[in-house]
Amino acid sequence: MFDTLSFAQKQRLAYIDFCLLFKGSIYRQDLINRFEIGLSAGSRDFALYKELAPANLSYDTIERRYCQTAEFKPLFEHDARRTLTKLANDISDGFDAIGDVHFPVEAPSSLNVPDIFIVARLVQAILNNKAVSIIYTSLSSGSAARELVPHAIVDNGLRWHVRAFDRKSNSFRDFVLTRISKVTLKSAPGQHEQAAADTEWQRLIPLQLVPHPKNVKHPTAIEMDYGMENSQLLIEVRAAMAGYLLRRWNVDCTERGTLSGAEYQLWLQNRFTLRNVDNLAIAPGYKD
């Protein structure tokens, strides 16, 4: 039947599929607003989707929305790498599953691409304010069950991780997505487990980056690379993300800019701003 459908119809079906997978539900009005179609056209799309995948959705007469079923299997194949990038940029469409425009632009590969169904469950938990039970394999203790309250999925430049409250350690931590092998939705979390209580996530710190004083012969080139003004780049980052950014950009975090090597083209001039920031073991040259 797919061969007889127009591209616009496939887009709408992919959007329904995407919302069911990542949000767990979709209102008919969501489809109508997204594609600016009439009520009857929206009803026909849901009827067609149900004809193609009858076990994928059920209608909640109280909430007046379509919900994902326990037997749900995506009607389309959603590419994990593209979907994560779109989610990170708040582009929720699912169009890549039907041959979305592919531009000849490539980015460095991550270590591994997370399981799309693991990502979907975590996104559902975040959007619906739920805790999750997971199986997590750590470097220190191997595989074990944990309960998390996730609030953000983050690309640290090398791999994807989820920022969450960990009920085992009673603290907010980062968990690598590719090390999660199972996710089950749980009940709603308490106030102390939600994003508002994650002080390292909520706190913004200023980073003053300048061309490296010893390793860069022509600092103007670095100023152009980073769009610096007055020979410096001043940016604000979440305290929880500072270490990742400094590592990704190979920023020399020593007190006097003493790291040598062509990879260190930037120096953190206001090093004092990192005081009381966790997760700085990966920041090049930083010592408390």
Assigned domain for 105 exists? no
pLDDT at 103: 41
In a domain, 103, yes or no: no
Residue written as tokens 């500072």? 242
pLDDT at 139: 87
pLDDT of residue 111: 59
Residue 213 CA to its chain's centroid (Å) = 35
- Does 82 lie in the same domain as 24? yes
Left if phi > 0, otherwise alpha if psi is -120 to 50, otherwise beta: which for 112?
beta
Host domain of residue 260? 203-274
Claim to verify: residue 84 and residue 130 sit in the same structural domain: no
Residues in the chain: 288
Residue 101, pLDDT score: 42
Whether 148 and 176 have beta carbons less than 8 Å apart is answered as: no
Per-residue three-class SS string for 4-15: HCCHHHHHHHHH
Residue 141: predicted pLDDT: 85
Note whether 280 and 274 are within 8 A (CB).
Answer: yes
What is the structure's pLDDT at 5? 87
Q: Are residues 17 and 74 in the same domain?
A: yes
- In the prediction, which pLDDT does 98 show? 54
CA 265, CA 280: separation in Å to the nearest integer? 19
CATH number, domain of 49, equals 1.10.10
Question: Residue 208's pLDDT is what?
Answer: 98
Neighbours of 212 (CB within 10 A): 22
Residue 111 inside a domain? The answer is no
Tens-binned pLDDT, residue by residue, of the chain (288 aa): 677 889 899 999 999 999 999 999 999 999 999 999 999 999 999 999 999 999 999 999 999 999 999 999 999 988 777 777 777 766 666 665 555 444 444 455 555 778 889 999 999 999 999 999 999 999 888 999 999 999 999 888 778 899 999 999 999 999 999 999 999 999 889 999 999 999 999 999 999 999 999 999 999 999 999 999 999 999 999 999 999 999 999 999 999 999 999 999 999 999 999 988 988 999 999 987
Q: Do 183 and 228 have their domain in common?
A: no
- 104 assigned to some structural domain: no
By the 10 Å C-beta count (0-12 exposed, 13-18 middle, 19+ buried), 280 is classed as middle
Residue 222, token pair as written in the block: 């670095």
Domain endpoint, select from 98, 127, 151: 98
CA distances to 4, 59, 70, 87, 223 from 73, rounded to whole Å, are 22, 17, 9, 20, 49
* pTM as predicted: 0.81
**Structure confidence at residue 83 (pLDDT):** 78
Do residue 132 and residue 175 come from a single domain?
A: yes
152 lies in a domain?
yes
Specify if 288 maps to a domain: no
Number of domains in the chain: 3
b/e code 114-139 from CB counts within 10 Å (16+ = b): bbbbbbbbbbbbbeeebbbebebeee
HSE-CB for 147 with a 13 A CA cutoff: 12
Q: What are the structure tokens assigned to 17, written together? A: 């599929």
pLDDT given for residue 77 in this prediction: 87
Measured at the CA of 106, the angle between CA 104 and CA 112, to 5 degrees, comes to 140
Position 96 scores a pLDDT of 59
In the block, tokens 């079923």 appear at 69
Q: Are 252 and 208 in contact (CB under 8 A)?
A: no
44, part of any domain: yes
Instruction: Determine contact, residues 232/210, Cβ cutoff 8 Å.
Output: yes
Q: Which of 72, 98, 124 is the last residue of a domain?
A: 98
